[in-house]
């Protein structure tokens, strides 16, 4: 069999790569192989955004909720430092060096605005900001420019230590006032259609990894990217030890920070059945490979109270790369999606070979980083029921930074109230135990009781029977328990207030950008 190469559109044409390890990052290829050093490495973990690039792929039939649609392309800003190069096969890569060519050799409005507003000092973060601004620019070209809060939200995945953000936000507003520059998607579309036509039904790539060589003997790992659920199921059955790869927002850190051998990888990102979102009268079905940005948008449309959690889940480059299925399946006790999904009563759809089973998300987490997923089994979709009209929902996240930070603890809460009493309740906490878990004792203290301060105090006290939190670098055990109890108090205050009027307003300009938004 002829060895396949990684082929993608770059700098106006198709490039082919066939001699780099499967865990070579896009950033590593750019700087070390392609000699394109405009894109910077800051944190190497998808946190700072200095490495932000744009990945484009052929548009799907329905415009995704999160991607930027330009012609026949869907564009997404992503972190190049944790994106594995084989995932670019059949796609296009845009970097900061593409800005001037897009503008015919002149400064692109994004660049000109950054210059005019003195929005760069040391300049290390600027290429990443420029690419996030390009995505924003293309998303609103020919439409009403975004307001300052919307700009801040779109830049939440890009950090700057010099400017205080105000001039960057000024530049984002100014770029829409400059003479427009269009993006011609046609040549990119032509390249991607050609690659698609010349790619076998299931893309597979392998290369020696020098870092894994033993006694001079090369070690080969393989990357597989099936296009159908049937082929995915077959691969998982054939290679039960292979790791399933979504956006690499977790696995990428294993390579960059822990220098782990991740073995063979099976990517779910090109499986059409796993990339679909279906809204029905009964609720919402989110494919496991749907990007977080799209999944959270769909979830917030179903349950508007999820909007703030959606905005605070990492930053846009991570949300455009990572998947909600990955956030659920990795088993992290501090994942932001599982408490929300657990409180909403979500069901996981799992597939092993030709067998499909459904499992309540409550039963999925067995122990720290251990789940009920069997060898060779993969998460296919997440089914989220439409909440009862009498059910009030809230999602809270506590973290050291307001945006783009890991949770210290989080809470998803669904309370069904009738005639002033609690008819049903689901309280799911993250960061309070080895797994995301419901607070059974606190729920029992609430269920069937009047919705008043006495009842909520009993539930707060019952949390001591539900959890024995740990002390770690993010918080002490005492802090976690105190805040968890205070979140129940907040839940009571908000739901009581919302019965008489609008819910309390808690959304604010991201903390890292508050000085810039003043």
288 part of a folded domain: yes
Task: Work out the percent of the chain whose per-residue pLDDT is above 90.
Answer: 88
> 415: which 2 tokens?
């309370």
* pLDDT at 497 exceeding the cut of 60: yes
β-strand partners of 365: 371
The residue among 383 and 505 whose pLDDT is bigger is: 383
For residues 75 and 155, state if they share a domain: no
pLDDT band, very low/low/confident/very high, at 385 (cuts 50, 70, 90): very high
The mean pLDDT of 499-507, rounded to a whole number, is 49
Cα angle 456, 459, 463; round to 5:
140
Residues 6+ apart with CB under 8 A from 436: 333, 335, 338, 339, 342, 365, 428, 429, 430
For residues 472 and 386, state if they share a domain: yes
The residue among 9 and 502 whose pLDDT is bigger is: 9
For residues 406 and 492, state if they share a domain: yes
What's the confidence (pLDDT) of residue 510? Answer: 44
For residues 252 and 136, state if they share a domain: no
For residues 315 and 428, state if they share a domain: yes
What's the confidence (pLDDT) of residue 401? Answer: 87
For residues 485 and 360, state if they share a domain: yes
Q: How many domains would you assign to the chain?
A: 3
505 part of a folded domain: no
Q: Which domain holds residue 82?
A: 6-97+185-267
What's the confidence (pLDDT) of residue 345? Answer: 98
114 part of a folded domain: yes
* pLDDT at 508 exceeding the cut of 50: no
- Each residue's pLDDT tens digit, 425-453: 999 999 999 999 999 999 999 999 999 99
- Each residue's pLDDT tens digit, 404-431: 889 999 999 999 999 999 999 999 999 9
What's the confidence (pLDDT) of residue 500? Answer: 55
For residues 354 and 491, state if they share a domain: yes
Q: For the chain, how big is the Rg over CA atoms in Å?
A: 23
- Hunting for tokens 């002149």 — which residue is that? 106
Q: Please identify, among 121, 154, 177, the residue that sits at the C-terminal boundary of a domain.
A: 177
For residues 444 and 462, state if they share a domain: yes
Under the phi-then-psi rule, with left for phi > 0, alpha for psi from -120 to 50, and beta for the rest, what region is 11?
left
β-strand partners of 394: 413
Q: Please identify, among 117, 147, 177, the residue that sits at the C-terminal boundary of a domain.
A: 177
Q: What is the average pLDDT value for the chain, to the nearest integer?
A: 93
For residues 142 and 38, state if they share a domain: no
For residues 220 and 367, state if they share a domain: no
What's the confidence (pLDDT) of residue 73? Answer: 96
The mean pLDDT of 233-254, rounded to a whole number, is 95
Residues 6+ apart with CB under 8 A from 35: none
160 part of a folded domain: yes
For residues 256 and 310, state if they share a domain: no
For residues 451 and 303, state if they share a domain: yes
Residues 6+ apart with CB under 8 A from 263: 221, 241, 242, 243
CATH of the domain at 204: 3.10.20.30
488 part of a folded domain: yes
Q: Please identify, among 245, 267, 289, the residue that sits at the C-terminal boundary of a domain.
A: 267
What's the confidence (pLDDT) of residue 515? Answer: 36
515 part of a folded domain: no
* pLDDT at 101 exceeding the cut of 50: yes
- Each residue's pLDDT tens digit, 347-360: 999 999 999 999 99
- Each residue's pLDDT tens digit, 18-76: 999 999 999 999 999 999 999 999 999 999 999 999 999 999 777 666 899 999 999 99
What's the confidence (pLDDT) of residue 516? Answer: 38
- Each residue's pLDDT tens digit, 301-343: 999 999 999 999 999 999 999 999 999 999 999 999 999 999 9
Using DSSP bridges, classify how beta strands 13-17 and 6-10 pair: parallel, antiparallel or unpaired: antiparallel
String of DSSP letters for 328-383: HHT--TT-SHHHHHHHTT-EEEEEETTEEEEEEGGGTEEETTEESPPTTEEEEEEE
* pLDDT at 509 exceeding the cut of 60: no
CATH of the domain at 148: 1.10.150.120
Question: CA–CA distance from 384 to each of 282, 340, 348, 402, 512 (Å)?
Answer: 8, 10, 9, 27, 33
């Amino acid at each position: 069999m002829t060895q396949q190469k990684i082929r993608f559109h770059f700098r106006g044409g198709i490039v082919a790569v066939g001699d780099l390890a499967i865990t070579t990052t896009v950033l590593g290829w750019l700087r070390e192989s392609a000699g394109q050093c405009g894109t910077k490495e800051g944190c190497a973990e998808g946190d700072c955004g200095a490495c932000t690039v744009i990945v484009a792929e052929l548009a799907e039939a329905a415009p995704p909720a999160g991607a930027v649609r330009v012609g026949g392309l869907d564009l997404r800003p992503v972190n190049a430092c944790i994106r594995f190069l084989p995932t670019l096969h059949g796609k296009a890569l845009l970097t900061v060096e593409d800005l001037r060519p897009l503008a015919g050799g002149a400064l692109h409005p994004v660049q000109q605005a950054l210059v005019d507003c003195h929005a760069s000092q040391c300049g290390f973060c600027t290429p990443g900001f420029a690419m996030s601004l390009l995505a924003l620019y293309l998303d609103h070209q020919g439409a009403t420019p975004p307001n300052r809060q919307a700009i801040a939200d779109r830049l939440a995945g890009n950090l700057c230590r010099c400017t205080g953000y105000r001039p960057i936000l000024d530049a984002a507003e100014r770029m829409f006032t400059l003479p427009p520059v269009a993006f011609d998607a046609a040549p990119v579309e032509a390249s991607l259609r050609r690659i698609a036509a010349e790619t076998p039904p299931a893309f597979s790539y392998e290369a020696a990894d020098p870092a894994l060589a033993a006694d001079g003997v090369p070690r080969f790992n393989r990357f597989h990217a099936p296009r159908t659920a049937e082929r995915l199921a077959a691969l998982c059955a054939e290679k039960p030890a292979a790791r399933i790869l979504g956006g690499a927002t977790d696995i990428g850190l294993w390579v960059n920070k822990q220098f782990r051998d991740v073995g063979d990888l099976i990517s779910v990102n090109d499986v059409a059945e796993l990339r679909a979102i279906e809204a029905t009268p009964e609720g919402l079905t989110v494919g496991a490979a749907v990007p977080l940005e799209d999944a959270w948008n769909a979830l917030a449309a179903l349950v508007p109270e999820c909007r703030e959690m959606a905005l605070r889940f990492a930053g846009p480059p991570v949300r455009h790369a990572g998947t909600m299925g990955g956030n659920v399946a990795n088993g992290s006790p501090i994942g932001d999606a599982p408490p929300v999904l657990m409180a909403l009563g979500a069901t996981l759809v799992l597939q092993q070979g030709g067998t499909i089973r459904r499992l309540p998300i409550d039963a999925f987490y067995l122990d720290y980083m251990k789940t009920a997923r069997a060898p060779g089994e993969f998460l296919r979709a997440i089914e989220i029921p439409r909440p009862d009209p009498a059910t009030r929902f809230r999602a809270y996240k506590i973290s050291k930074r307001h945006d783009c930070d890991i949770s210290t603890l989080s809470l998803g809460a669904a309370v069904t109230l009738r005639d002033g009493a609690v008819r049903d309740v689901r309280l799911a906490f993250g960061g309070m135990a080895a797994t995301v878990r419901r607070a059974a004792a606190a729920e029992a203290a609430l269920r069937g009781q009047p919705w008043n301060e006495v009842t909520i105090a009993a539930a707060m006290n019952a949390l001591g029977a539900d959890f024995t939190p740990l002390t770690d670098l993010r918080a002490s055990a005492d802090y976690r328990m105190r805040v968890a109890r205070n979140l129940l108090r907040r839940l009571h205050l908000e739901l009581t207030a919302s019965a008489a009027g609008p819910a309390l307003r808690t959304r604010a300009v991201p903390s890292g950008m508050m000085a810039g938004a003043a």
